[in-house]
Structure 1
Amino acid sequence: MRARSALFDVYGGHLRERGGAATIAALVRLLEPLDFAAPAVRTAVSRTVRQGWLRPVRLPGGPGYAMTPRAERRLDEAAARIYRTRPSTWDGLWHVVVLEELPAREARERLASSLQLLGYGALGPVTWVAPRPSAELADVLAGEGVRGSTFLGRHEDDPAALAARAWDLAGLGRDYALFVAEWEPVVSAVDGSSPAGAFAASQRFLHAWRKFLFRDPGLPRELLPADWPGAGAAEFFDRHTARLAPAAAEFVDDCLSAH
């Protein structure tokens, strides 16, 4: 886990529901159980500010940083998929994006990564589909200087076959099963008696789970293989996240209120 990723997880998982801002001193305290020293936290904050995700603010406890509207949109989108808060129904329509042209290689790789994070799968070099539109799509395309056409459409053939073409569902299912096998002994060993320990464990657990956002668009049940391993993995993640949540929240509140 890098300090910048840990910072995003803390803002999205804890600070978003607590006003979306924290002093730099509180951020240093929050990331200490994750083995990040103060200089690494400050560097990560500075980089995140330059990238437009955080903005400096003056808080009662001293200088701090708040989420920008762009960060709020990105973290809300991520949270909806991490915790599956959106309705699971699907009307059979795909959101299709057709790029007018491909950018240079570095920008193309960034664009592909961003589109995958928003839940889009590639059908070809310039064609992407998702089971639902993303509110961030226009910002992502504009950020890379790419124009594209978007529309809603219904696939005339088997929609499950289209999903299997756009996403590696077989490989994703295997990795969900592997996630549970690897993390079950790790997270089960944390009992929540130490707030700092529970916070650190829950953040590492979240970081590992969040990687699936780049690969799993949150497809509706009718597009998934039978006995989908992702369902059991999601239940496993939810159960242990909820179990560690009270102790982790206690640690966060202590860090935010300390002087």
Structure 2
Amino acid sequence: MKPQSMLFTIYGEYVRHYGSEIWIGSLTKLLGEFGLSEPAVRAAISRMLRQGWLVSRKVGNRSYYSMSERGKKRLEEAAARIYKVDTDSWDGKWCIVSYNIPEERRALRDQLRQELGWMGFGMLTTSTWISPNDLGQRVKELTESYGIADHVEIFYAEHLGWSDPRQLVKKCWNIEEINEKYKSFIDTYRDKYEELASKLRQNKDVPDSYCFVEKTVLVHEYRKFLFIDPDLPLDLLPELWLGKEADQLFQNYYQLLNPGAVRFFESAYEVAPS
């Protein structure tokens, strides 16, 4: 697991619920549970600072780090999708984003594509992306922040022809591949969940450090689906869709691990001075 990705998970799962700021010594102790050295943690923090995800504060000889506004927004978006509730039925409309960004701004164009994929858009053509979810406001905010509003058009409209909705889905997303990844997740974590549930029923001791590591890895692995699962409404999913089963397994295992994981985090966390 990459240190930077693990830091996102630590901040999203723990730090943002404890004032959003943490001492680097606490981070080093927590990430040490995953075999990460202090230099590796410091290097990852430096990268996140340069990329604008973190901000730092010095108190005496101690350094404290918190998520930037950009980072907080990303964590909130991720949490909303990981711990989602069932959405309303689909209204039959598509959010469409079309862009024509000059070659000299290619880096921004590539970044826009990456962000659209993160939001759950699928590529219909090279410069046209679609989603069955109403994400227009988020795209407007994104394009304004990148300074490319003059090169982007956003629509929320009905599709009149010719592919039916499920055909459009197949053109834009590899649903079979996503389903296979969900199956792999279920195969990996079903036995772990049942084993832990059995231990707890028998009142066997389960170390808090184990719960912390296992829960953090669980969230880290499940978070990967944010990059590949477009969060399609039920009307557009195949009959055999494993996403629902995987989500239920995730929620059940998470609830078993959470109390011990939080206790371990609190044992390493020190309240930042005001």
For normalisation by structure 1, the TM-score amounts to 0.89
1:169 and 2:175 correspond? yes
Q: What are the Cα deviations for residues 164-199 of structure 1, in whole angstroms up to 9, with x where unaligned?
A: 221111221122112111233345555671111111
Pairing of 1:87-98 with structure 2 (within 5 A): 87-98=87-98
Q: Please tell me whether the aligned partners of residues 113 and 214 of structure 1 are also in contact (alpha carbons under 8 angstroms).
A: no
1:73 and 2:73 correspond? yes
Distance 1:134 1:119, change over 3 A: farther
- Equivalent of 1:150 in 121, 129, 154: 154
Q: Please tell me whether the aligned partners of residues 97 and 129 of structure 2 are also in contact (alpha carbons under 8 angstroms).
A: yes
1:9 and 2:9 correspond? yes
- Equivalent of 1:198 in 211, 216, 238: 211
> What letter matches 2:153 in structure 1?
S
State the match for 1:100 in structure 2. 100
Pairing of 1:24-63 with structure 2 (within 5 A): 24-58=24-58, 62-63=62-63
Sequence identity, in percent? 31
Report the RMSD for the aligned CA atoms in angstroms. 2.6
> What letter matches 1:123 in structure 2?
L
Distance 1:56 1:64 in 2: 6
Distance 1:256 1:135 in 2: 37
Q: Answer with 79-88 or 166-175: which moved more.
A: 79-88
* Matched length: 259
State the match for 1:242 in structure 2. 255
Q: Answer with 169-178 or 39-48: which moved more.
A: 169-178
State the match for 1:225 in structure 2. 238
Distance 1:171 1:199, change over 3 A: same
Distance 1:134 1:29 in 2: 41
For normalisation by structure 2, the TM-score amounts to 0.84
Structure 1: stretches of 5+ with no match in the other structure = none
State the match for 1:122 in structure 2. 123
Structure 2: stretches of 5+ with no match in the other structure = 200-204
Q: Please tell me whether the aligned partners of residues 118 and 217 of structure 1 are also in contact (alpha carbons under 8 angstroms).
A: yes
Distance 2:51 2:121 in 1: 23
TM superposition shift of 1:54: 0.7
Q: What are the Cα deviations for residues 126-185 of structure 1, in whole angstroms up to 9, with x where unaligned?
A: 001122206553465467664311111112253232222211112211221121112333
Q: Please tell me whether the aligned partners of residues 87 and 233 of structure 2 are also in contact (alpha carbons under 8 angstroms).
A: no
Distance 1:89 1:26, change over 3 A: farther
TM superposition shift of 1:233: 0.8
1:112 and 2:113 correspond? yes
1:159 and 2:165 correspond? yes
> What letter matches 2:225 in structure 1?
F
Distance 1:94 1:145 in 2: 24
Spell out structure 1 runs of 4+ moving beyond 6 A.
none
Q: Please tell me whether the aligned partners of residues 97 and 128 of structure 2 are also in contact (alpha carbons under 8 angstroms).
A: yes
Distance 1:60 1:78, change over 3 A: farther
Distance 2:136 2:36 in 1: 33
State the match for 1:18 in structure 2. 18
Q: Answer with 123-132 or 78-87: which moved more.
A: 78-87
Q: Answer with 240-249 or 107-116: which moved more.
A: 107-116
Distance 2:21 2:59 in 1: 8
Distance 1:39 1:172, change over 3 A: same
Distance 2:192 2:15 in 1: 25
- Aligned residue for 2:33, secondary structure, equals helix
Distance 2:74 2:212 in 1: 22
Q: Please tell me whether the aligned partners of residues 74 and 136 of structure 1 are also in contact (alpha carbons under 8 angstroms).
A: no
> What letter matches 1:126 in structure 2?
S
TM superposition shift of 1:72: 1.1
> What letter matches 1:23 in structure 2?
W
Q: What are the Cα deviations for residues 195-248 of structure 1, in whole angstroms up to 9, with x where unaligned?
A: 111111111122221111111111111111113111101111111011101111
